[in-house]
Amino acid sequence: MSAVAELIPPRPAPPAARRAITGARIAAISVLILWALLAIALVSLVITGFDQAKFLRYGPRYLNGLWVTISLVGISVVFGAALSLPIAFARMSTNRVLSGIAYIYVYVFRSTPLLAQLFLIYYGLGSFKPQLEAVGLWWFFREAWYCGVFSFVLNTAAYQAEILRGAIQSVPRGQHEGAAALGISKFVTFRKIILPQAMIVALRPYGNEVILMIKGSAVVAIVTVYDLMGEARYAYSKTFDFQTYLWAALFYLVIVEILRHVWAFLEARLTRHLKR
């Protein structure tokens, strides 16, 4: 005989718990609405203010400016990397004078604004015209573009030297000792054992530095170089149309986002062997 006299009849499932509307949800929706309104305002500004003649007139100039920005940053980063190598080694050397000089260089260039450095080189060295002409360097410091490259190289070399130093010092001592025990020469040790391991550590900071340079390179617009920012300023001074800046912003955002994703891909690819 069963202990249960009658079975409980089947019942419908309980109603789904109502999602509580939290403060976070309200805040999220209101902020998103604010963003959407701003985006609509900007897009409608571009659409209503669209002018075929202006587009044809300034569009090619923007592309030209884009190329100036990219080439400026590319050249500066490459030459800066070359210059950062001796600075990083000087900074790590046991010679107090040498490391002191490298430290002062890095400290000075990292704690003054890029804009002030650019002014110092372009306008400041420009006041030494006779002396520069005597040495035969005036052609270089006369051009705003060369001055921009020069100041960017000096600036990014200081930052890259710190990145390189940190990365090289992050490689454990045992790697040096192991190579020494195998009788490998210092140069080969550095090139084949230390540098590959250091570069993986330095990959992310290098990516950040390139992005910072792209953003920092906008300052050359102030010393009359027509990079992306310079073209935007030129177009604004001719048309007084706010969307000139919006187009430049779009270009910069796209470059930075592409770089960020390329770097994320590179990092994922190059550190495959480190993942567990």
Q: CA 233 to CA 239: how far, in whole Å?
A: 10
Among 50, 67, 123, 265, binds another protein (CB under 8 A): 123
Name the one range near another protein by CB under 8 A: 11-19, 27-35, 160-168, 266-274. 27-35
Q: Which is nearer to another protein, 126 or 166 (CB)?
A: 126
Q: Considering the rule CB under 8 A, would residue 166 count as an interface residue with another protein?
A: no
> Applying CB under 8 A, what is the total number of residues that bind another protein?
48
Give the nearest distance from C-beta 155 to another protein in angstroms.
11
* Least distance in angstroms from the C-beta of 140 to another protein: 16
CB 201 within 8 A of CB 163: no
For another protein, the closer of residues 179 and 255 by Cβ is 255
Does residue 205 touch another protein according to CB under 8 A? no
User: In this complex, which beta carbon is closest to another protein, that of residue 190 or of residue 234?
Assistant: 234
| Member of 32, 82, 85, 180 binding another protein (CB under 8 A) | 32
141 is an interface residue for another protein by CB under 8 A: no
Least distance between another protein and beta carbon 173 (Å): 25
Footprint (CB under 8 A) of another protein, residues 237-266: 242, 245-246, 248-249, 252-253, 256-257
Interface positions with another protein (CB under 8 A): 22, 24-25, 27-29, 31-32, 35, 41, 45, 108, 111-117, 119-120, 123-128, 214-219, 221-222, 229, 232-233, 236, 242, 245-246, 248-249, 252-253, 256-257
